[in-house]
Amino acid sequence: MATALAPRIINRSVPHGSERGKSARPDKPIVHDGETIEQCVLRSLERYFADLGGAKPHALHEMVVRAAERPALQFALERCGGNQSAAADLLGINRNTLRKKLADYKIA
C-alpha cells in the first residue's frame, strides 16, 4: 500500500540501514516539493474549512490526529515488512501501544 510520496519522505527523514541506531531529528521539518508536512496539514485544514461553507466543524483535533495517525501506522508497518517491533521503533512508540493502535484502526 505504498504511495509515490512515501519513499521520498522516508529517505529524507528516517535513519535506515547503516544509520540504524542514530536518531532522526524530529525537529527538522520533512520537505516534499518545497512543502513541509506541517504546511500540508495547514493547507488541508484551510481547504476543509472553505468546503464547510460556514458550517461549524466538530472534533477537529480527533479528525486531524486520525487522518495523520492511520497512514503513519500503515506506512511504518509496510516499511518494516510487517515487523511490529521495528515499526514501533520507527514510530518512536512502545510495541504494545502500536498493537493497541493497530487494533483501534483495524489494521492487520
Global model pTM greater than 0.85: no
Give the whole-angstrom CA distance, residue 91 versus residue 34.
24
Judged on CB neighbours under 10 Å (0-12, 13-18, 19+), 54 is exposed
Give the whole-angstrom CA distance, residue 20 versus residue 6.
19
Given 3-state DSSP classes, what are the helix, strand and coil percentages for the chain, each rounded to the nearest 5? 60, 5, 35
In the chain, the number of structural domains is 1
- pLDDT of the chain, 108 residues: tens digit per residue: 444 444 334 333 444 443 444 455 556 666 667 899 999 999 999 999 999 998 999 999 999 999 999 999 999 999 999 999 999 999 999 999 999 999 999 997
Q: What is the DSSP letter of 32?
A: E
Q: Which domain holds residue 96?
A: 59-108
CATH number of the domain bearing residue 71: 1.10.10.60
Task: Specify if 83 maps to a domain.
Answer: yes
